[in-house]
Amino acid sequence: EYIQIARTSPLPLYKQLEDSIVRAIGDGELEAGDKLPTEEELADKFGLSRPVVDVQYEMVRMSTGF
């Protein structure tokens, strides 16, 4: 599982989500055309709001072009 979120980390959850995805892209775990989990799936799994997941997906798109 490439998305790692630790509630005990001092890093905000939304930043951990973004960093996990960007790291997976950089490491080659995710490639162009790969399907990311839906906003709803991530929100449910990690207890995040869907708007937070949506914003982080957009941040990843802007920073990586993925």
Task: Tell me what pLDDT residue 18 has.
Answer: 92
pTM of the full structure: 0.84
Number of neighbouring beta carbons within 10 Å of residue 21: 25
Question: What mean pLDDT is predicted for residues 27-33?
Answer: 89
- Measured CA to CA, the distance from residue 57 to residue 36 in angstroms comes to 9
Q: Which among 54, 51, 48, 49 is positioned nearest to 36, based on CA atoms?
A: 54
Task: Tell me what pLDDT residue 53 has.
Answer: 92
